[in-house]
Structure 1
Amino acid sequence: MVGKYATETLRADNGGIERAAQILRGGGLVAVPTETVYGLAARADDDEAVARIYAAKGRPSFNPLIVHVASLSAAERLAVFSEAARALARQYWPGPLTLVLSRQRGAGLAAAVTAGLDTVALRMPSHPAMRDLLEFTGLPLAAPSANRSGFVSPTSAAHVLGALDGRIDAVIDGGPSEAGIESTIVAVGEDGSRRVLRPGPILLEDIARPDAGGRIEAPGQLASHYSPGKPVRLDATEVAPDDFVIGFGAMEGDCTLSEAGDLAEAAARLYACFHQGAISDKPRIAVAPIPEEGIGIAINDRLRRAATPPD
């Protein structure tokens, strides 16, 4: 299926959703818009379908996947919800919050989804196209970002096709992603304990800062990630003529995250600027300083990982 034909581009309407659901039920791969970034969806209960995600992305098998669900009741069939987890879900779902919880016995998920862990990462997205697809298929959908593993996440259908055309069956074009960075990931223990594994659009100030050590428990924890394929210099206040400059606030650039210094706008534009830098003829990328506050914590997390060379 994958790789034999050019990837279909589908509209985010009833016809497109129906076609995407047909592909997914048959074990295929469809890139889908969400409010964070575009995800590469496959049915989460099919070992072969999930294996195709890893193959298309070149993703390491120890890196687990987020499972997207249509409702809290669907999530509770897959994971054990403490009162603390249920409270977070009721407050922030649907939306860009992923909960890492103990997996239910008999959850019926493909083994590769959890990468051998006894936990599962769950999210209920708010983007209408993804919600329609979840409702139409009636399936939990595993959906990491629709990019080659380790590289910049896509925030448009064009970004998806630039990386995965011919490697996946279809992409639903739902326009640019609103948030522009991946979901906040929080691990919630059965005792109610909570740890932020990845910062994101939802700011949980009362929860500890990201846990950077130990084993990989959730997507986006690799030290080197989100790479544009070129050296990246952070906190740049001086730049060279052959730097591709990503500006912010008073510091202008070849691509500017936010002239007004608005961190939410900067988050939404971050990956689009990285994609521009990646295809430019300039050999390096220099990024203006970003305040380490609010959603700036999540932006700087992505920037530090993008600037870290692979092992």
Structure 2
Amino acid sequence: MEIKELENIVFQTRRDILRMVHKVNSGHPGGSLGCTEFLVALYNEVMELKEGDFDMDGTNEDLFFLSNGHISPVFYSVLAHRGYFSKEELGTFRLLNSRLQGHPTTHEGLPGVRMASGSLGQGLSVALGAAQAKKLNGDNNLVYTLHGDGELQEGQNWEAIMYAAGKNVDNLIATIDFNGQQIDGPTSEVLPLGDLEAKFKAFGWDVLHIKEGNNMEAVVNGLNEAKARTGKGKPVCVLMHTIMGNGVDFMMHTHAWHGKAPNDEQLANGLAQNPETLGDY
């Protein structure tokens, strides 16, 4: 897919995020907006996906596990635009009896969602099981994950990081949304993460940076580079430098919009900054 086509999906996805969260006055727009380019690129350009009905086995296709499940608005929008379910269903976000809960769950059988994520720190452990199952089954496809940088303050991550390298799980690409923000403030103030590149390398991972995580071409090139590094005995970590709230000027560079919905005036402002490219749901 051409970069311009991917960018058009990004604009529409941002509109979806803003409208979904505004309607119910609840949700997490900041991180969702910051990861829009990544998820759009992943599902429309980078991953090898089977066409047709979704199945939980996921054999002979790439898999994705969202660990920081609170950014469900961007995940749902990208899945809908990829055809996993109707775009109109986005209008049910966080409503009673909706499949689109605030944090993704699997018990409603929502196509595209492979794990319930909301309790942070668990996604890499789940992905490791899937990655090792692929190896056991002779399946050469890859497993991708996404994690918040603040999420790395959860200890379970580091057990999984140690295990992945220790067991040579080299069909795994873990991306860190490196925006320096979490719910209570900058990560540097809440609990500094130190040198993440050095830490992952010390644990035995191959590490690369995407320094412009909100630039579509940079994201596509970075993820393709990560793919090229798989199969060489080490899991791959992508440190993706993003801006929380990207694409909506008053939400950018602050943790204030981690879990806050825009009011009517703010919604109109945000939508005006993101043209309707594929049609609102």
**Looking at CA atoms only, which structure, 1 or 2, has the larger radius of gyration?**
1
Instruction: Considering fraction of residues, name the structure with more helix.
Output: 2
Which structure has the higher relative contact order (CA within 8 Å, separation 6+)?
2
